[in-house]
């Protein structure tokens, strides 16, 4: 059994050690492809792999076609918009994710950004505090729930929107449910986005929502850049000098946006939300275990291409 870990953005070494242990103790062989610079390297490496563990690495129809022995792909993380599920299903490849394993790391980044932006990037001017401010969480999944938990420590007033989550789950977490996206943006000074990138959510957050935020509004996006309508974001930032935007991974027009709006915007250079040793260990080892369970027993609990 050959298990390929292909990560353009590598896991922490300690996570790889743990994954190696799980894989080798099961009698499988681990092949490591890290920081690869071209798709061809990935195409060559998957040629003999039965299992593939990835992060945000793109697994499209071409990669799947180059992997005739492949049975399972595990995305060590939550979002699987980087995997062509239809092509995988057509080839009989099981695709899984590791939900929840890196969610605390992403939630902590939200607050790192919230404090930094509220303090004007620590540029010497007077900022604002998070205490008693309103926070709206867009999607109350694993990351959203961690954000709500941490927000309690900051004494923020938290509400959330999630059509898939019953109100009582939010209420039990001390969160006020809201039932429309318009309400979420209109009522909250800080909004934190945690929706997946799907055909329905792509470019779904644009001018109308962003420009409706209260005075001094801060939008934090640690989800996917694709959910933002960049034109609308730029227009809202242009018209409202009090608005700010921070994102984990730069938008397409990052340089232009940074140039125009300076300290009112912040972007990580690479997706950093899950880039902690703890998250790497949690998600990486979960992925290794899932691969081995699938190969040895056919276990499919976290399958996403039903
Ligand atoms: C996820 O979907 O789990 C996060 O965006 C993390 O992505 P990464 O593994 O590329 O850091």
* Residue 271, ligand 1, Cβ within 6 A: yes
**How much is the pLDDT for 68?**
98
User: Model confidence over 251-289: pLDDT tens digits?
Assistant: 999 999 999 999 999 999 999 999 999 999 999 999 999
Nearest CA to ligand 1 atom 5: 79
* Residue 141, ligand 1, Cβ within 6 A: no
**How much is the pLDDT for 97?**
98
Nearest CA to ligand 1 atom 2: 79
Closest to 2 in 3D by CA, of 27, 21, 25: 27
Instruction: Give the ranges where the chain is alpha helix by DSSP (H).
Output: 13-25, 39-45, 61-65, 85-90, 103-118, 142-153, 167-172, 181-187, 207-211, 230-239, 254-261, 277-297
Query: Which ligand 1 atom sits nearest the alpha carbon of residue 98?
Result: 3
* Residue 290, ligand 1, Cβ within 6 A: no
The structure's pTM equals 0.96
Topology of 2-101+276-297 in CATH? Rossmann fold (3.40.50)
| d(CA 205, ligand 1 centre) in Å | 20
Confirm or reject CATH 3.10.450.50 for domain 103-267, answering yes or no.
no
Q: How close are the terminal C-alpha atoms of the chain, in Å? A: 24
| d(CA 238, ligand 1 centre) in Å | 30
Distance CA(235)–CA(255), nearest Å, equals 16
Q: What is the mean pLDDT of residues 199-214?
A: 98
**How much is the pLDDT for 15?**
98
User: Model confidence over 170-199: pLDDT tens digits?
Assistant: 999 999 999 999 999 999 999 999 999 999
Query: Which ligand 1 atom sits nearest the alpha carbon of residue 223?
Result: 5
Distance CA(55)–CA(39), nearest Å, equals 15
User: Model confidence over 18-76: pLDDT tens digits?
Assistant: 999 999 999 999 999 999 999 999 999 999 999 999 999 999 999 999 999 999 999 99
> Range(s) for CATH 3.40.50.720 in the chain?
2-101+276-297, 103-267
Q: What is the mean pLDDT of residues 157-168?
A: 98
**How much is the pLDDT for 136?**
99
| d(CA 283, ligand 1 centre) in Å | 9
**How much is the pLDDT for 57?**
98
| d(CA 186, ligand 1 centre) in Å | 29
User: Model confidence over 81-139: pLDDT tens digits?
Assistant: 999 999 999 999 999 999 999 999 999 999 999 999 999 999 999 999 999 999 999 99
- Strand-pairing partners, residue 245, are 219, 265
- What confidence tier does 249 reach under pLDDT thresholds 50, 70, 90? confident
């Amino acid at each position: 059994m050959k298990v390929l870990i292909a990560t353009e953005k590598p896991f922490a070494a300690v996570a790889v050690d743990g994954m190696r242990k799980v894989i080798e103790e099961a009698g499988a062989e681990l092949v490591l492809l890290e920081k690869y610079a071209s798709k061809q390297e990935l195409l060559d490496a998957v040629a003999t792999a039965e299992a593939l563990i990835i992060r945000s690495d793109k697994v499209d129809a071409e990669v799947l076609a180059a992997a005739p022995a492949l049975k399972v792909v595990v995305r060590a993380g939550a979002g699987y918009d980087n995997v062509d599920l239809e092509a995988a299903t057509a080839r009989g490849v099981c695709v899984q994710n590791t939900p929840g394993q890196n969610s605390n790391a992403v939630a902590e980044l939200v607050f790192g950004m919230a404090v930094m932006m509220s303090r004007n990037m620590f540029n010497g001017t007077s900022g604002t505090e998070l205490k008693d401010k309103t926070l709206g969480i867009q999607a109350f999944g694993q990351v959203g729930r961690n954000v709500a938990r941490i927000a309690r420590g900051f004494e923020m007033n938290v509400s959330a929107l999630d059509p898939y989550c019953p109100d009582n789950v939010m209420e039990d977490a001390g969160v006020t449910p809201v039932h429309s996206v318009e309400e979420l943006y209109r009522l909250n000074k800080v909004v934190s986005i945690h929706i997946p990138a799907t055909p329905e959510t792509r470019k779904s957050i644009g001018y109308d929502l962003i420009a409706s935020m209260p005075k001094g509004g801060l939008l934090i996006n640690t989800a996917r850049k694709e959910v933002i309508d960049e034109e609308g974001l730029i227009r809202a930032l242009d018209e409202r000098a009090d608005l700010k935007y921070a994102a984990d991974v730069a938008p397409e027009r990052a340089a232009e946006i940074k140039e125009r709006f300076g300290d009112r915007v912040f972007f990580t250079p690479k997706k950093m939300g899950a880039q902690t040793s703890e998250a790497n260990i949690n998600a990486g080892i979960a992925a290794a275990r899932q691969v081995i369970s699938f190969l040895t027993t056919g276990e499919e609990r976290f399958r996403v291409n039903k």
